[in-house]
Amino acid sequence: MTKVTAVAIVAVYAAFMTAWIYLEDDFPLRIPLGILAHFSLGLVTGRPWVIAAPALVPLLAIPTETEDAGAGWAFALVIVAIPGAILVALGVALRRWLGATPRK
């Protein structure tokens, strides 16, 4: 996988997470889709720098507001970015543990 491909995958991730933020709170697959998106990002790319990608999510959520949690960006920072970075890191670690290191 080239660096350009990895950047394209992060762009798809950012687009998906933008749509994910605007899903209704009671959508039944919201949490599993978020977990799958973060873990898959790390597993597919296998590059350590993608661990920072969940930090984009609060920026995407700035115009939103949730009913009970205040500003949407605060929710995204605490509930999405931090656990998301951990899930991405687990995906990267699993890919490296399986021996599928990224090509340069």
Do residues 23 and 60 make contact, with C-beta atoms less than 8 angstroms apart?
no
| Sequential pLDDT tens for the chain (104 residues) | 788 888 899 899 988 988 887 777 778 888 899 899 999 999 999 899 999 999 888 777 666 555 554 566 676 777 788 899 999 999 999 998 988 655 55
